[in-house]
Amino acid sequence: MRTTRTDRKIRKWSCATFGAGLRDPALPKRVREFKAMDHARVMSFDCVMVVMAAKRAVPTKMKGKSDPFHRRSMIALQDANIPFLIGGAYAVEAYGGVSRQSKDFDLYVRPTHINRAMEALARAGYKTEKTFPHWLAKAGRGRDYIDLIFRAGNGLCEVDDSWFERAQDDEIEGLHVKLCAPEEMIWMKAYIMERERFDGADIAHILRSCAQKIEWPHLVRRFGPDWHVLLAHLVLFGYIYPSERTKIPTAIVDDLIERLQKEMVIAGRKRLCRGTLLSRKQYLVDVEEWGFRDARLEQRVHMDAKDIAHWTKAIPKEEKQRGKPA
């Protein structure tokens, strides 16, 4: 098969970055030409190992102060043989080095395991509820609680087998556990663009530390038709850290920009609003008054009209809890 100069450049960059075992070209448009190589695995690019090489910082709450509630929660799931991953603030510090005080403790489970996880925690004395049936359950004792997450709030980013295959080993509270991989953390957080919460800073911090170890073709595939969202965060990263922008593979950015250029000359056929995948409140006027179709009703999204109504109805209550007007 004849290769071009661009192909050779991509291969050279891939091998230098991920090791000789990687042969998946960075440009998605080339994937078909190298299909036989697409399944090659990265030899060793474990981002956590890079962060842990000196001594990985542990979230403040874990430093010098045990959290019996978190430990008890993890033991209950481990005893019930329910696989889970740790994400949220703990993973952000592990990968991005940013520590913040938070009561949240996010555990990620497969959708098929959510009921078993709730039952296991209930047997351990927790009060459990499936707060939002399309993505989130909670389990708590007194004022303490954990989040059991199996998708994103917009109905995307379902926790599947590959989350566990790519997870990173860690130890918390003397327990052997696994962290969500940085690619999945970026994917999950990329869609959070509410007025009161924007997770772009978390993504920028993870990229600053891990960009050169990320499996970029995998991350691009994760976003699928939502590659625009990934491109937006990559552009912001270059703006936030001018001196670090070369950590992002040029081939990846070039391909996404090329897609954008081709798309700009053709208007979409449907009056579709994808803003609801980024914010559950700020684009309600588009779908409720202006005649745009809600992207959350697309087949690829794990939400239906009932889920959307339930998710929307909770907005005033949550804003009140934060002390903000509805």
Q: Work out the average pLDDT over 266-275.
A: 90
188 pLDDT more than 60: yes
173: confidence class by pLDDT, cuts 50, 70, 90: confident
- CATH code at 50-203: 3.30.460
On the CB side of 48, how many CA atoms lie within 13 Å of its CA? Answer: 20
Where in the sequence of the chain do the CATH 3.30.460 domains occur? 50-203
Give 41 or 106, the one with higher predicted confidence.
Answer: 106
Give 136 or 45, the one with higher predicted confidence.
Answer: 136
270: confidence class by pLDDT, cuts 50, 70, 90: confident
**Which residues are registered as beta bridge partners of 178?**
169
Give 254 or 104, the one with higher predicted confidence.
Answer: 254
CA distance 169 to 148: 19
Give 24 or 70, the one with higher predicted confidence.
Answer: 70
- Contact partners, residue 78, CB within 8 Å, separation at least 6: 175
Which DSSP category does 191 fall into? Answer: T
pLDDT (tens digit per residue) in 213-230: 999 999 999 999 999 999
Q: Work out the average pLDDT over 25-37.
A: 40
196 pLDDT more than 80: yes
pLDDT above 70: percentage of residues in the chain: 79
Question: What pLDDT sits at residue 325?
Answer: 52
324: confidence class by pLDDT, cuts 50, 70, 90: low
96-100, 107-111, 117-121, 246-250: range with lowest mean pLDDT: 96-100
Give 192 or 51, the one with higher predicted confidence.
Answer: 192
From the CB of residue 121, how many other CB atoms can be counted at a distance below 10 Å? Answer: 26
pLDDT (tens digit per residue) in 52-89: 333 333 444 444 445 899 999 999 999 999 999 999 99
pLDDT (tens digit per residue) in 241-262: 999 999 999 999 999 999 999 9
Mean pLDDT, rounded, of the chain: 84
pTM for the model stands at: 0.81
Question: What pLDDT sits at residue 119?
Answer: 98
Q: How far is CA 151 from CA 79, 172, 184, 188, in A?
A: 24, 24, 11, 8
Question: What pLDDT sits at residue 67?
Answer: 86
List, in sequence order, the alpha helices (H) in 57-192. Answer: 68-79, 88-96, 114-123, 161-165, 182-189
Answer yes or no: are the C-beta atoms of 137 and 179 closer than 8 Å. no
63-67, 158-162, 191-195: range with lowest mean pLDDT: 63-67
37 pLDDT more than 90: no
Q: Can you give the length of the chain in residues?
A: 326
